[in-house]
Amino acid sequence: MKDFKGKLFVFSAPSGSGKTTIVRHLLKQEQFNLAFSISATSREPRGFEKDGKDYYFISLRDFKNKIKEDAFLEWEEVYRDNFYGTLKIEVERIWALKKHVIFDIDVVGGLRIKKKFPENTLSVFVKPPSVDELKIRLKKRSTESEDKINMRIAKASVELATAPQFDKIIKNYDLEVALQEAEALMRDYLGLNK
């Protein structure tokens, strides 16, 4: 990963916290010069997800082979046989475009990226109003079974405990306020307030 080394913006949170909405909003703000890091996953696409846009959907076998090849910057078995990870070539692709990288990623992966690039990573934890609110949001999505939702809720308690390890915490109780906070953090980190 040579030449241009942009900043890395990691947004992590339990499922349903609103991190994807925040990341999509920030990507539309041209002054930040961002490109989205597309994660790889071994799970099946949900709803209208597209390969190469939302995720790189790869088979479980191919994912495990890429782990052996050391092709990932970070990876995690988030649920049984459900792997997610960031391919090294994805960050290289974005830096080749002379853009900063923004991640919408689980907490373990987010902390691993921060550890690998401590000097140029801003890690942000998006905190939901409550675990009950998370459950409501996940049910509204109508993309997963009750069992899957319960698995995500159980995992959320563990993830919420990692919040203090992140550089910044955005409390997403009111989406408009959370979006403004996210923009302010980006401007500050990129030195655009000067």
Q: What is the pLDDT of residue 2?
A: 52
Q: In this structure, is residue 2 part of a structural domain? A: no
Q: What is the pLDDT of residue 3?
A: 64
| C-beta separation of 113 from 10 below 8 A | yes
Distance in angstroms (rounded) separating the CA atoms of residues 22 and 176: 10
Q: In this structure, is residue 41 part of a structural domain? A: yes
Q: In this structure, is residue 60 part of a structural domain? A: yes
Q: In this structure, is residue 3 part of a structural domain? A: no
Name 145's Cβ contacts closer than 8 Å, sequence gap at least 6.
none
- Give the pairing of strands 82-87 and 72-79: antiparallel
Question: Looking at the predicted structure, is the pLDDT value of residue 30 above 50?
Answer: yes
What CATH number corresponds to the domain at position 75? 3.40.50.300
Name 19's Cβ contacts closer than 8 Å, sequence gap at least 6.
11, 12, 13, 104, 126
Q: Work out the widest C-alpha separation in the chain, in whole angstroms.
A: 49
Distance in angstroms (rounded) separating the CA atoms of residues 131 and 123: 22
Q: In this structure, is residue 1 part of a structural domain? A: no
Q: In this structure, is residue 31 part of a structural domain? A: yes
Per residue in 37-81, pLDDT (tens digit) is 999 999 999 888 999 998 999 999 999 999 999 999 999 897 788
Q: How many structural domains does the chain have? A: 1
Count the Cβ atoms, other than its own, within 10 Å of residue 73. Answer: 22
Q: With bands split at pLDDT 50, 70 and 90, how would you rate the model's confidence at 16?
A: confident
Count the Cβ atoms, other than its own, within 10 Å of residue 2. Answer: 7
Q: With bands split at pLDDT 50, 70 and 90, how would you rate the model's confidence at 180?
A: very high
Question: Looking at the predicted structure, is the pLDDT value of residue 1 above 50?
Answer: no
- Mean pLDDT to the nearest integer, 102-130: 93
Q: What is the pLDDT of residue 144?
A: 72
Q: Which domain holds residue 118?
A: 8-190
- Mean pLDDT to the nearest integer, 101-124: 94
Strand order in the sheet with 100-105: 34-36, 100-105, 8-12, 121-127, 168-171
Burial category of 122 from C-beta neighbours within 10 Å (exposed 0-12, middle 13-18, buried 19 and up): buried
Q: With bands split at pLDDT 50, 70 and 90, how would you rate the model's confidence at 151?
A: confident
- Mean pLDDT to the nearest integer, 164-170: 96
**Partners of 86 in beta bridges:** 74
Q: In this structure, is residue 107 part of a structural domain? A: yes
Distance in angstroms (rounded) separating the CA atoms of residues 166 and 119: 14
pLDDT greater at residue 57 or residue 151: 57
Give this prediction's pTM.
0.86
Per 3-state DSSP, what percentage of the chain is helix, strand, and coil (rounded to 5)? 45, 25, 30
Q: In this structure, is residue 139 part of a structural domain? A: yes
Distance of CA 35 to the CA centre of its chain: 13
**Mean pLDDT of the residues in the chain:** 90
Per residue in 129-148, pLDDT (tens digit) is 877 777 777 777 777 778 87
Q: What is the pLDDT of residue 190?
A: 95
Q: What percent of the chain has pLDDT over 70?
A: 97
- The 3-state DSSP class for residue 57 equals strand
